Amino acid sequence: MSQPHRDAFPGVAEADVVSPLAGPPWRCHVVQGFLKLLPVVFVVSGGLKAVILWAGWKLTHLKSAARLRVYRRAFGKGQLRSEVRAALIVIGCDALLISAFRAFHDERFAPFRWTATLLTFAWMFVMFEAWFYVTHRLMHTRALYWIHAQHHVAQVTNPITSLSFSVAERVVLLGGAFMLVTVAGHFMPITQAGLVLYILTNYSLNVLAHGNTEWVPERFVSSWAGRLFFTTTFHAMHHARYQGHYGLFTPMLDRWLGTAFADYPQVHARARAGQGLERLGERIRLDAPSPTVSAPAPGGLGTS
């Protein structure tokens, strides 16, 4: 059987033109692109995660951080070991998924422009928040909790918890992000720079969210910014109580859909005053007096 002429496939190198029995040329092009991207994405994505995680770990181990713990409890037995193992798998899984998406989608990104980049970031921030809330809440149902169980190995969180997921959950999260990029590309310019900016923001805020250390002043929660954006306390309460606070980086959907904890401002104030909670299921009366600032407590994040 004669080989197809290279002119039949504009833009495809002669070496890439194969027999129809071997599959269409575009498929070979995608596979080759995936194989070239994989080691680069693994190093870059894994390296960025490691740097952000290291910075978060150092931040939560500062002497001043000991007083600001949201939950003053030790880690669960074997927690850190389980989370490190899951994080290493997630790094490899992310490299595979990102490389596959880029091999298919890279040529569809719009050229860099500041307006398009900021629009891309805004689209991802708002729409992924909705995707995360819905899928997160579904994964807390009896039928789907097995997907999410690895993340809740941590009742008291630490920065490594930000990468402690099952492969199935990682596919749900990244698959949702890639779906949003693909859908948006049909009606607006989507730039690689805007997507990368969102991914870096997502990684960084996730590490902060799982630090179990409240850096934000008490007045923040009742401010306009606090009504729009989360705090570490907001997510720490989710890990301690399991049900409620399903949002990612904003409490808005939880407030609108009735899944916000009423004592969130009080728990936040306790953490800021150096009086973090000592029991996971502890609720604070809404009419409880405001806490007074206490002296720094000894001890670090806890031990497994």
Q: Model confidence over 258-290: pLDDT tens digits?
A: 999 999 999 999 999 999 999 998 999 887 776
Q: What does the pLDDT read at residue 299?
A: 47
H or E element, residue 103: helix 79-105
Question: Using H for helix, E for strand and C for coil, what is the string for 159-195?
Answer: HHHHHCCCHHHHHHHHHHHHHHHHHHCCCCCCCHHHH
pTM for the model: 0.84
Q: What does the pLDDT read at residue 286?
A: 80
H or E element, residue 135: helix 114-138
DSSP 245: -
**In this structure, which long-range contacts are made by residues 200-207, counting pairs with CB atoms below 8 Å and at least 24 apart in sequence?**
200/48, 200/52, 201/121, 201/125, 202/128, 203/48, 203/49, 203/52, 203/162, 204/52, 205/249, 206/162, 207/52, 207/53, 207/55, 207/56, 207/159, 207/162
Using CA atoms, how far residue 110 sits from 93, 97, 106, 125, 189, in Å, is: 26, 21, 9, 18, 5
Q: Read off the pLDDT of each residue in 8-37 and give the average, rounded to a whole number.
A: 59
Q: What does the pLDDT read at residue 263?
A: 96
pLDDT for residue 11 is more than 90:
no
Q: What does the pLDDT read at residue 121?
A: 98
User: Please, are residues 194 and 119 in contact by the beta-carbon 8 Å criterion?
Assistant: yes
Q: Model confidence over 66-110: pLDDT tens digits?
A: 999 999 999 999 999 999 999 999 999 999 999 999 888 878 899
pLDDT for residue 8 is more than 80:
no
Tokens of 233: 């306390």
State the pLDDT confidence band at 12, using cuts at 50, 70 and 90: very low
Within 10 Å of residue 214's Cβ, how many Cβ atoms?
A: 27
Q: What is the mean pLDDT of the chain?
A: 89
Q: What does the pLDDT read at residue 26?
A: 54
Contacting residues for 119 by C-beta, under 8 A, at least 6 apart: 188, 189, 194
Phi and psi at residue 220, in whole multiples of 5°? -60, -40
State the pLDDT confidence band at 6, using cuts at 50, 70 and 90: very low
